[in-house]
């Protein structure tokens, strides 16, 4: 039996693994894809203290190497289901099953896309899903925000303090107004096409065929946490995001959650790594 199985090898899961391994616990990390998680999607990361001017892929590789150097086991397997009784938790993957005392859910979230042609290729070259992550790439430039909720309105205001101009394309049914001279609102129109040159975004075509030139497009219409695998566990969710306490524990004993999959204020590497550490230290103390 494992002391703890960690699901997801993004910064949250890998941070938890380092702390639990340091506490001499028997652990394994299960990752369905590539260790590094969302870091690998970023064009540049310049807000993680101590890692200035390093390629995102190098940051991900350094994290992964730290696990390898410490002989922490990572299996590339997709977790399909988790079940629990009073004495153990059973994790079923596409290849194996694992029995463990504790589990840390660190599976992240998926940003909602507009499913436009070239949207994926342009991530980091004009397309972004996160104002705090990429806002400073567009200092004194013109950006557009596609939004449909209060969070996107707050993000548009945040971006207006960095960029020259923000064009808010309102995807909600309610009228939106800003008190900021450099925020312009477009109501009742959708983006129908991304205009790019040499794989760099140059503008967007609206549903009335008008093209507006922008340097960046922030698609802020929400995201979906990867919480499908816990459907049967009666874990408290808020809009799909896992609700945790200060120790990163869910409402279900022995099940913890960290990183982008939880309900929180700031979805960043720094918070993900911190939450992984908090969950791990708490679990290590309970096992002792
Ligand atoms: C384009 C982009 C740019 C960003 N830029 C920055 C930035 O500059 N600075 C910053 O601080 N943050 C940035 N972020 C946010 C940051 O990357 C995330 O907040 C952080 O990676 C969250 O870490 P996590 O470990 O919780 O989730 P993730 O990094 O998403 O990792 C989750 C892992 O779980 C795995 N997984 C999911 N489901 C399963 C399953 N069923 N079985 C096994 N494995 C599973 C996934 O494959 C993934 O590897 C950016 C995000 C994006 C999308």
Domain that holds residue 93: 2-110+223-287
- Check pocket membership of 225 for ligand 1, CB cut-off 6 A: no
CATH number, domain of 81, equals 3.50.50.60
Those residues whose C-beta lies under 8 Å from the C-beta of residue 192, and which sit 6 or more positions away, are 116, 205, 206, 207, 209
Q: Can you tell me which atom of ligand 1 is nearest the CA of 42?
A: 3
Q: Tell me which of 17, 34, 37 to substitute to probe ligand 1's pocket, judged by most ligand atoms within 8 Å of the beta carbon.
A: 37
- Check pocket membership of 118 for ligand 1, CB cut-off 6 A: no
- 28 and 159 co-located in one domain: no
- 195-254 per-position pLDDT tens digit: 999 999 999 999 999 999 999 999 999 999 999 999 999 999 999 999 999 999 999 999
- 187 and 227 co-located in one domain: no
- 126 and 32 co-located in one domain: no
**pLDDT value of residue 72:** 98
Banded model confidence at residue 287, pLDDT cuts 50, 70, 90: very high
- 121 and 213 co-located in one domain: yes
- 105 and 236 co-located in one domain: yes
- 257 and 215 co-located in one domain: no
- Residue (of 37, 15, 18) closest to 107 by Cα position: 37
- Check pocket membership of 59 for ligand 1, CB cut-off 6 A: no
- 104 and 156 co-located in one domain: no
**pLDDT value of residue 143:** 98
**pLDDT value of residue 44:** 87
Region 18-45 average pLDDT: 96
Percent of the chain at pLDDT exceeding 90: 92
Assess whether pLDDT exceeds 90 at residue 173.
no
Assess whether pLDDT exceeds 90 at residue 106.
yes
Region 125-133 average pLDDT: 94
- 199 and 232 co-located in one domain: no
Region 48-59 average pLDDT: 92
Region 143-164 average pLDDT: 95
Assess whether pLDDT exceeds 90 at residue 152.
yes
For the chain, the domain total comes to 2
In the listed set 180, 197, 220, which residue is the last one of a domain according to the structure? 220
Burial class (CB in 10 A: 0-12, 13-18, 19+), 145: buried
The mean pLDDT of the chain is 95
- Check pocket membership of 131 for ligand 1, CB cut-off 6 A: no
Assess whether pLDDT exceeds 80 at residue 288.
no
In the listed set 172, 200, 220, which residue is the last one of a domain according to the structure? 220
CB of 78 within 8 A of CB of 92?
no
- In the reported structure, the alpha carbon of residue 12 is separated from the centroid of ligand 1 by a whole-number distance in angstroms of 8
- Whether the CA torsion 244, 245, 250, 254 is positive or negative: it is positive
pTM for this predicted structure: 0.93
**pLDDT value of residue 178:** 95
In the listed set 162, 197, 220, which residue is the last one of a domain according to the structure? 220
- 141 and 283 co-located in one domain: no
- 20 and 91 co-located in one domain: yes
Assess whether pLDDT exceeds 90 at residue 263.
yes
Q: Can you tell me which atom of ligand 1 is nearest the CA of 45?
A: 8
- 93 and 18 co-located in one domain: yes
Banded model confidence at residue 53, pLDDT cuts 50, 70, 90: confident
Banded model confidence at residue 78, pLDDT cuts 50, 70, 90: very high
**pLDDT value of residue 46:** 85
Stretch among 33-47, 87-101, 256-270 having the lowest mean pLDDT:
33-47
- 76 and 89 co-located in one domain: yes
């Amino acid at each position: 039996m494992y002391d703890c199985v960690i699901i997801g090898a993004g910064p949250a899961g890998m941070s938890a693994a380092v702390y639990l391994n340091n506490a001499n616990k028997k652990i394994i990390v299960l990752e369905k894809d590539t260790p590094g998680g969302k870091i690998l999607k970023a064009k540049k990361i310049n807000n993680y203290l101590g890692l200035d001017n390093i390629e995102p892929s190098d940051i991900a590789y350094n994290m992964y190497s730290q696990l390898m150097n410490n002989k922490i086991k990572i299996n590339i397997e997709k977790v399909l289901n988790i079940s629990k009784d009073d004495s153990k938790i059973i994790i079923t993957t596409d290849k194996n099953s694992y029995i463990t005392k504790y589990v840390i859910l660190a599976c992240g979230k998926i940003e909602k896309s507009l499913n436009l042609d070239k949207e994926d290729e342009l991530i980091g070259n004009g397309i972004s899903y996160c104002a705090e992550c990429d806002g400073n790439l567009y200092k004194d430039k013109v950006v557009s925000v596609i939004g449909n909720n209060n969070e996107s309105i707050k993000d548009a205001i945040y971006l207006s303090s960095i960029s020259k101009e923000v064009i808010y394309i309102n995807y909600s049914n309610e009228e939106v107004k800003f008190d900021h001279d450099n925020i312009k609102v477009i109501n009742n129109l959708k983006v129908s096409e991304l205009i790019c040159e040499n794989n760099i975004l140059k503008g967007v075509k609206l549903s009335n065929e008008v093209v507006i030139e922008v340097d960046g497009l922030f698609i802020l219409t929400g995201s979906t946490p990867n919480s499908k695998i816990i459907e049967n566990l009666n874990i408290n969710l808020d809009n799909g995001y896992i609700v945790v306490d200060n120790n990163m524990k869910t409402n279900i004993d022995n099940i913890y959650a960290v990183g982008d999959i939880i309900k929180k204020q700031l979805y960043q590497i720094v918070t993900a790594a911190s939450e992984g550490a908090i969950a791990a230290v708490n679990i290590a103390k309970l096992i002792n």
